Structure 1
Amino acid sequence: MSGLKFGTSGLRGLVTELGDEVCGAYTVAFLKHVQKRHAVAHDGVLLVGYDLRSSSPRMAAAGMSAARSFGMRVENCGPLPTPALALRAMILGAPAIMVTGSHIPADRNGLKFYRPDGEIDKADEAGILAFLDSQKPPAANSDVAVSDEALRAYAGRCASLLSPGALAGKRIGVYQHSSVARDLMVEILQGTGAEAIGVGRSDIFVPVDTEALRPEDIIFAEQTCRALKLDALVSTDGDADRPLIADENGNFLRGDMVGLLTARFLEADAVVTPVTSNTSIEQCGFFDRVYRTRVGSPYVIEGMEKALGDGCKRIIGFEANGGVLLGAPAAVDGRVIDALPTRDAMLPILCVLGMAAREGTSLSRLVERLPARHTGSGRLEHVPAEKSGAFLKSLENAQALRAFFADAGTVRDSDRIDGMRVVLTNGDLIHYRSSGNAPELRCYTEAGSRERAAELLVWGLERAARALEHDSKK
């Protein structure tokens, strides 16, 4: 189990490291933890779901067998979106495990754990690890039949977001690939009156990363939108908790812009988002409060809880990958949508399409109305956590910080919410943080033009590389 670790979104590792005994051990450790910390009954029910990668059914079966041997009843929710499993868990007040590697390649996979009230936090991760041992869980006797209750409840929630006919006359392409929501997306969009056209379906798992699109995805979107004369092309990552939305020209919307538009459509008074989302969120002036957090949905959830404690009523959380978390009930045309504090792809897809239709405009024009901020991101690989940590620590000294960034500009402000984020006097932004999933130092930039953001990224990566090389020679 040494190669496995918790990242920003659950436990991840190579499929070869996630054998039946390992999956069973983590399942039992999770159940022991939720029974101790969250008072889950010893004879209660565990919900299990999985995505469409080839290793997921086997891993799910191993977890279900371990849970039954442990004395739990099991509801096999089958292949379904992660937010659908989370919704079912909250409805029943039961723990859940989603087998998914999200957007990572098919040779990898993972486990995502849910308490009865939502995603686990960092304290829960530590609690699970404390109960983890190498003892082989006993095998259960039989398979568990798939229940469609979770998927039907989620489909009903999605269908209630927009009125029937809200997207009438719209041609929406659905890039299906191997998304676990590929059929659900078509069904829900057709229910809004749109002409939903499935394209790009694949029987082989496709690692679609909403933050790092493959060149073939970009080309596919442009060609498909043009050939089919689409108003939009939509998709998700593998487990359908992160959306992918392209405008009528096939240009993909940045995830943080998707979150901003979703929050606007739902009339949020507070937005909670990591420091990697761009500053259009503050500059647009749409929201009473903007809370910035570290990267990762557990931190966004903490921020949403703080916003609720501060008296905010309509709270939307989102990440730069586009996944939107509904931190409080939202009203849409008189219909109330219950809170769902986990990443969801269908919510932003429907909200963004609904906003464009309601305002009688295109997706490209919706984005053009927002403050013009452009971003860049890159990474230095093979930088161990201790080296990136020492590098970030060296920038905490004010004099050293000014000297480090002198060639880029004068430092106006800085914060250490997650790594080191610096704002220069001209508004340009450079942000360094250590990856939570790999031995990498990440660099993010933001500026008023695409060219300047790219220029800053090159500078930032080269400047950090020189500093790391200098430190290694000491």
Structure 2
Amino acid sequence: MRKYFGTDGIRGRANGIITPDLALRVGQAAGIMFQQRGEYRHRVVIGKDTRLSGYMIESALQAGFTSVGMDVLLLGPIPTPAVAMLTRSMRCDLGVMISASHNPYEDNGIKLFGPDGFKLSDEMELQIEALIDSDLTRRLADSATLGRAKRIESVQARYIEFAKRTLPRQIDLEGMRVVIDCANGAGYKVAPEALWELGAEVMSIGVEPNGFNINHDVGSTAPDALIHKVRELRADVGIALDGDADRVLIVDEKGHKVDGDQLMGVVARSWKEDGRLSQAGIVATIMSNLGLERYLNGLGLGLVRTAVGDRYVLEHMRANGYNLGGEQSGHIIMSDYTTTGDGLVAALQLLAVVKSLGKPVSEVCHCFEPLPQVLKNVRYKSGKPLQEASVIKAIESGRETLGNGGRLVIRPSGTEPVIRVMGEGDNADLVNRVVDDVVEAVTQAASKAAA
């Protein structure tokens, strides 16, 4: 059991779960662990999104790292994948991203990357947790070996150049009208600039962060504003990032949404035709639509499923030699270029396919018809509703009802007290009925536990 870390770092309400004291101790604990790598000046990069609480957490982390003798390089507002990339390119021992991704501004989080730019393993996070709860005062640096802090000014230009270089030199975006929605988040400067430098005509929304409006009615989790703008401007494509720009949602020229499953299908087909797939298939999670699996099978490709969380997708990719994977939510991992999900890079790869085919986004990106899929959330306060006999019985009955033509996935969220119930199958009415039955059983069990 992990006390602090969830599926994507430490996350929670700012000054609730994510306090300055916790951030200080995370910095000290992670700094102590990573300074065991050798006798030299150890360095950490710290990036953040645009939440008001980022200032507080950044300062506390900086104090934590410097107090144990680690030098700190401050990056300012920058996408999560940029932190991962810069951790490697700046030869740092550790990278930190302060973000709660697609959550509202009241929340924040701390994501850690190792020197290779990959998220830390469960084992390393457990070691950090043990240090957080230990007596850290005995491990502080003496006065002569305290760390220093420095703000780095060139990071946005470095990331833009990195993102552009993921495209072949002969590919540009000349003649393409693009609307980019940056969710008032970490990509609000770099994403529009990268698209413009590649020759696109760029219209931007969600690029006026004020500390409070990150993900508020904009971004990949609230695409209505982007859909409206694409239709209004008659753009060729719309791109929506989330708060830390590690996920992406596409809107075609007709205003229809294109999720991560469709994106993976498009890129998998293109890479297979170009001989770029390192394995005969891709890696996705248990939440990806069965329609994607059937589509890939028709191309002679397989779909390997993992637990929810891009870290688990990436772990399987690394262990088994896959170079393409991701989540339906838009975390797309292309390991030839990145070590984590990268919304901008994924969008550029898609636009490269669109440009090379010379077809509208609607024709390129709707490559399969998704099966009816229903996802409902049940919030609970206490207890373990999924262990109740009534819930277990409802789940078993639902799976039997759907049979081989559908799937039923029930899981607790890794970032909030919510149980997610997802069903899919060829018969929409049947799927809805099964999901409703399970939700009702979970709701009753949660209410009983809270009484």
- Select the residue among 258, 264, 268 that pairs with 2:269: 264
Q: Do the aligned partners of residues 403 and 59 (structure 1) sit closer, same or farther apart at CA in structure 2, a change above 3 Å counting?
A: closer
Give the aligned partner of residue 332 of structure 1: none
Whole-angstrom CA distance in 2 between matches of 1:124 and 1:374: 39
Are the counterparts in 2 of residues 376 and 445 from structure 1 also a CA contact under 8 Å?
yes
SS at match of 2:313: helix
SS at match of 1:197: strand
- Select the residue among 395, 420, 427 that pairs with 1:442: 420
The answer on 1:305 being equivalent to 2:283 is no
Structure 1 stretches lacking a partner, 5+ long: 309-313, 330-337, 410-423
Map Cα deviations across residues 190-246 of structure 1 (whole Å, 9 max, x no partner).
2222111112433334343999966xx443233211210111111211111111221
Q: Do the aligned partners of residues 115 and 465 (structure 1) sit closer, same or farther apart at CA in structure 2, a change above 3 Å counting?
A: same
Give the aligned partner of residue 24 of structure 2: 24
The answer on 1:84 being equivalent to 2:82 is yes
SS at match of 2:5: strand
Give the aligned partner of residue 15 of structure 1: 14
Whole-angstrom CA distance in 2 between matches of 1:139 and 1:56: 28
The answer on 1:201 being equivalent to 2:207 is yes
Are the counterparts in 1 of residues 28 and 68 from structure 2 also a CA contact under 8 Å?
yes
> What is the CA distance between 1:445 and its match in structure 2?
1.7
SS at match of 1:166: coil
> What is the CA distance between 1:358 and its match in structure 2?
1.7
Q: Which amino acid aligns with 2:22?
A: V
Q: Do the aligned partners of residues 145 and 405 (structure 1) sit closer, same or farther apart at CA in structure 2, a change above 3 Å counting?
A: closer
- Select the residue among 408, 423, 430 that pairs with 1:430: 408
Map Cα deviations across residues 259-298 of structure 1 (whole Å, 9 max, x no partner).
3333334443331111111123321234644221111122
Q: Which amino acid aligns with 1:190?
A: W
Give the aligned partner of residue 225 of structure 2: 220
The answer on 1:238 being equivalent to 2:255 is no
> What is the CA distance between 1:144 and its match in structure 2?
3.6
Whole-angstrom CA distance in 2 between matches of 1:22 and 1:158: 33
Give the aligned partner of residue 352 of structure 1: 350
Whole-angstrom CA distance in 2 between matches of 1:457 and 1:170: 42
Give the aligned partner of residue 413 of structure 1: none
> What is the CA distance between 1:122 and its match in structure 2?
1.1
Q: Do the aligned partners of residues 218 and 64 (structure 1) sit closer, same or farther apart at CA in structure 2, a change above 3 Å counting?
A: closer
Deviates more, 1:248-257 or 1:72-81: 248-257
In the alignment of these two chains, the number of paired residues is 431
SS at match of 1:436: coil
> What is the CA distance between 1:181 and its match in structure 2?
1.0
Q: Which amino acid aligns with 2:312?
A: Y
Give identity over the alignment, percent: 23
Are the counterparts in 1 of residues 408 and 423 from structure 2 also a CA contact under 8 Å?
yes
Are the counterparts in 1 of residues 217 and 225 from structure 2 also a CA contact under 8 Å?
no
SS at match of 1:5: coil
Q: Do the aligned partners of residues 85 and 306 (structure 1) sit closer, same or farther apart at CA in structure 2, a change above 3 Å counting?
A: same
TM-score, length-scaled by structure 1: 0.81
Give the aligned partner of residue 296 of structure 1: 309
- Structure 1 or 2: larger strand share? 1
Q: Counterparts of 1:57-76 in structure 2 under 5 Å? A: 57-76=55-74
Q: Which amino acid aligns with 1:22?
A: L
> What is the CA distance between 1:393 and its match in structure 2?
9.1
Q: Which amino acid aligns with 2:416?
A: A
Structure 2 stretches lacking a partner, 5+ long: none
Whole-angstrom CA distance in 2 between matches of 1:35 and 1:390: 45
Q: Which amino acid aligns with 2:182?
A: Q
Q: Do the aligned partners of residues 435 and 199 (structure 1) sit closer, same or farther apart at CA in structure 2, a change above 3 Å counting?
A: closer
Deviates more, 1:180-189 or 1:158-167: 158-167
The answer on 1:171 being equivalent to 2:177 is yes
- Select the residue among 364, 367, 370 that pairs with 1:369: 367
Q: Do the aligned partners of residues 389 and 369 (structure 1) sit closer, same or farther apart at CA in structure 2, a change above 3 Å counting?
A: same
Q: Counterparts of 1:265-284 in structure 2 under 5 Å? A: 265-267=270-272, 268=277, 269=279, 270-284=281-295
Whole-angstrom CA distance in 1 between matches of 2:198 and 2:431: 38
Whole-angstrom CA distance in 2 between matches of 1:150 and 1:111: 20
Deviates more, 1:350-359 or 1:252-261: 252-261
Give the aligned partner of residue 51 of structure 1: 49
Deviates more, 1:157-166 or 1:449-458: 449-458
Give the aligned partner of residue 155 of structure 1: 160
Q: Which amino acid aligns with 1:56?
A: G
Are the counterparts in 1 of residues 66 and 147 from structure 2 also a CA contact under 8 Å?
no
Are the counterparts in 1 of residues 3 and 129 from structure 2 also a CA contact under 8 Å?
no
